[in-house]
Structure 1
Amino acid sequence: MDKIKKEFPLLRKCTYLNTAVFGPLYDSLIDWRQEHDLDALLHGSELWEQTLKTLSDTREKIGQFFNCDREGVALVYNYSLGMNLLLEGLQAKRNVLLLENDYPSVNWPFESREFAITTLGITSDFEERISEAVKKKHIDVFAFSIVQWLDGFLIDLEFIKKLKRDNPNLLIIADGTQFCGAMSFDFKASGIDVLGVSGYKWLLSGYGNGFMLFADNLENEIKVPTTGFNAAHGNFDNKETMALAKKFEPGHLSSLNFGSLKFSLDFLDSIGMEQITQHNQNMSKKLKEALNGMGLLQKHIVDREAHSTIFNIKAGQKVFKTLSDNDILCAMRGDGIRVSFNFYNGMDDFEHLIKVLKTSY
């Protein structure tokens, strides 16, 4: 843990519980980015072939890391952009199921188009209500965040697998931005048809990189009109034969941005996603127990068996200021204070948070 923490200068000046806002950059990534830009400064267009290789290697790494065929990986600058491109390829007026207070970039793109929308509030047993809604409302598309941004509510991924088995024609679209990188994830086994992720949070890659993952056989389901020379690999003969994932890459891509994503995936692999997952799950259990004992969690969170690395504490600006005054970096979200732990947060961070909270009441 000490060796890992040394990679993150930010951790030396505060208790950083804000990965849900931004994943801190780290020394070895900055070294790589500086070398990349120095090469661009000295060699200019001579680096074009290296740029293509970096982008190709990034797609390959994403596919390996999340278990998705390379051909199903699209590089996008952020989830919001990818989601809007995706919905341009969906037939209008389809029946869509969304979750109340989900991240705006999940819900708003549907709401701004001509879809028939059903919205469900989140409760401790809401998976059962999802199954009922899918049948009763004849739902065609279910879109959701795996982890809710406001309070860290974690959807049961085993339920998603069953939902897909029971409803094979249901198109399942997920936002993994607050999940991927915090815990292990197998896309092929998930039952999810389309997964979108921004890389600047739990993937520690800075702004301007993300990806979309596509299951097989979606070419007839999603007819994206987006096009461009890059999507055709710079080949005029490919104009009419672009794969679905390539249509999300119509123009040139940044080797700095997406090379940073690959570098961070390699970094996470070097630590081990099994170890990261176990650490984060253990911290989640400890924090849930401690916050619940103080009466600071909502009932629909307390009643769930599994939770994410994000918690929303029932407190206001006064407590938030106390946390800030004690060098705890977190965020006001919804009706409370949102804290988020990652693998570089140890028991010292946990104990500091609880100690300050106990002195705030």
Structure 2
Amino acid sequence: MADQPDWGKIRDEFPTLSRKIYLNSCSLGLLSNSVRNALHRFIDSWNDHGAAAWYTDWMAEIGSVRQRFASLINASPSEIAILPNISSTLGVISSSMDLGPGSEVVTTALDFPTVAHHFLAKERIGVATKIIQSTDRVKIDFTQFEETISPATTLVATSHVYFSSGYVQDVGPVVDLAHRNGALALIDDYQSTGQVPIDVKELDIDVLVSGGMKWLLGGPGTAFMYVKEDLIEKLSPTVTGWFANRDQFDFNPNEMVFRDDAGRFETGTPPVASIFAGAEGLKFVNDIGSQAIRDRTKAIAGRLVDRLKDEGFKLRTPDDPERHASITMVEMKDPALAVEELAKRDIIVDYRPGAVRFSPYFYNSFEDIESAVTALCEIRQALEV
């Protein structure tokens, strides 16, 4: 696409927007015409070729999604594993680390709960999990990481963008602090990849996990795990499957020889339909460019914040636009009811405890924002009666 994207033309690629104002991309990105067509290609391939589709189309599509995700984060395709969800990525990578008595994991209360849940479940094998609490429900101060991470720390797991506040964390110093204490750094990039650029090489990230369901426009079913090249052969998972075997099509049950690349962290048969959708979603994002998307989304989210403040709403969101991703939390008396009332007006948002959650994306317009804020003001007035 051109250096200056035609946002109106891009918007036309998402049919839902002709019927609704959609401001919930942090839960699920919208379906584009191109992703719909990709899913039809999968169905046609299955219908035309049966099992032979693995060789005519499907393996190539797996390669495409791997390459496109790698390109987005400045990695090599050989450093990317494909799994069905983030919980699976955590299970595989943690099984590679020989966690047990004496192991310590540091995470935060603002990270998506599956991260803490995964490691808390390992308490029975002796893993200690430290969860840093937020003082303002928006961010974690770097000094809190400094007070918590120590030479006893095995792994630091935190987010680039916090799902509950939209805060863009400066993960570079956190990664560096982990390394200085002999720990690995795992970054959950699910709420960032696509809308906020990231460079795994520049930041020296050890492991990064993300997925196609939100800002990458690929729907549910596909997750990605980057593992730094010089770590790959040092890590051998015990949660595994036949796709991790170097010689998988020898069908030899008597030995397990892991692949030399990040494919060693894959498990069973991949979710091919989701991979078709995910590859096309990634192409859409890559064609626009992550910085262009960031600039556009920052402008849209900035307008949303300004209008909400103008109307006197209390926000649980970063004040600094450079630290604010799309996610915008609006505190309300009954957020669930507010979301329900907005849906009656064909305005789709979400809620989390105590707040309505908006998450516009590049395909939204400034008119969407004005309509949504006007509707929210009407709903607030009705709730206060």
What TM-score does the superposition give when structure 1 sets the normalisation length?
Answer: 0.91
**Percentage identity across aligned positions?**
24
Distance 1:227 1:95, change over 3 A: closer
8 Å Cα contact 1:320/1:332 also seen in 2: yes
Q: What is the rounded CA distance, in whole Å, between the counterparts of 1:89 and 1:333 in structure 2?
A: 34
Preserved contact between residue 63 and residue 73 of structure 1 (Cα < 8 Å): yes
Deviating more after overlay: 260-269 vs 278-287: 278-287
Corresponding residue of 2:28? 22
Q: Which runs of 5+ in 1 are unaligned?
A: none
Structure 1 partner of 2:355: 336
CA shift at 1:110, angstroms? Answer: 0.3
Aligned to 1:358: 377
1:121 aligned partner, one-letter code? Q
AA partner of residue 315 (structure 2): L
Counterpart of 2:298 in structure 1: which amino acid? Q
Spell out the pairing of 1:188-203 with structure 2 (5 A cutoff): 188-203=201-216
Aligned to 1:52: 59
CA distance in 2, matches of 1:133, 1:248: 29
Residue 283 and residue 138 in structure 1: after superposition, are their counterparts in 2 closer, same or farther (change >3 A)? Answer: farther
Aligned length: 358
CA distance in 2, matches of 1:25, 1:289: 28
Secondary structure of the residue aligned to 2:293 is helix
Matched, 1:252 2:264: no
Amino acid at match of 1:307: H
Instruction: State the match for 1:290 in structure 2.
Output: 307
Show CA shifts across 1:70-109 (max 9, x none).
2210001111111122222222241111111421211100
Q: CA deviation at 1:30?
A: 0.9
Q: Counterparts of 1:1-361 in structure 2 under 5 Å?
A: 1-49=7-55, 50-90=57-97, 91-93=99-101, 94-114=103-123, 115-123=127-135, 124=139, 126-135=141-150, 138-160=152-174, 162-164=176-178, 167=180, 169-219=182-232, 222-232=235-245, 233-236=247-250, 239-243=256-260, 245-293=262-310, 294-298=312-316, 301-302=318-319, 306-315=323-332, 316-317=334-335, 318-359=337-378, 360-361=380-381
Task: Name the SS for the 1:195 alignment partner.
Answer: strand
Q: Given residue 205 of structure 1, which amino acid in structure 2 is its aligned partner?
A: G
| Distance verdict in 2 for CA 1:38–1:89, change over 3 Å | same
Aligned to 2:4: none
Structure 1 pair 57–208 and aligned structure 2 pair: CA distance change class (3 A): same
| Residue identity opposite 2:221 in structure 1 | G
Question: What amino acid does structure 2 have at the position aligned with 1:177?
Answer: Y
Bigger mean CA deviation after superposition, 247-256 or 38-47: 247-256
The verdict on how the C-alpha distance between 1:139 and 1:323 changes in structure 2, with shifts beyond 3 A counting, is same
Structure 1 counterpart of 2:356, one-letter code:
I
The 8 Å contact of residues 181 and 202 in structure 1, kept in 2 or not, is answered as yes
When residues 225 and 162 of structure 1 are mapped into structure 2, their CA distance, relative to the original with a 3 A threshold, is closer
Aligned-partner Cα distance in 2 for 1:35–1:241: 32
Distance in 2, Cα, partners of 1:132 & 1:290: 38
Whole-angstrom CA distance in 1 between matches of 2:197 and 2:217: 15
CA RMSD of aligned residues (A): 2.3
1:27 Cα deviation after fit: 1.2
User: Separation in 2 of the partners of 1:104 and 1:117?
Assistant: 13
Q: AA paired with 1:323?
A: L
Q: Distance in 2 between matches of 1:225 and 1:243?
A: 16
Specify every segment of 5 or more residues in structure 2 that has no aligned partner in the other structure, as ranges: 1-6
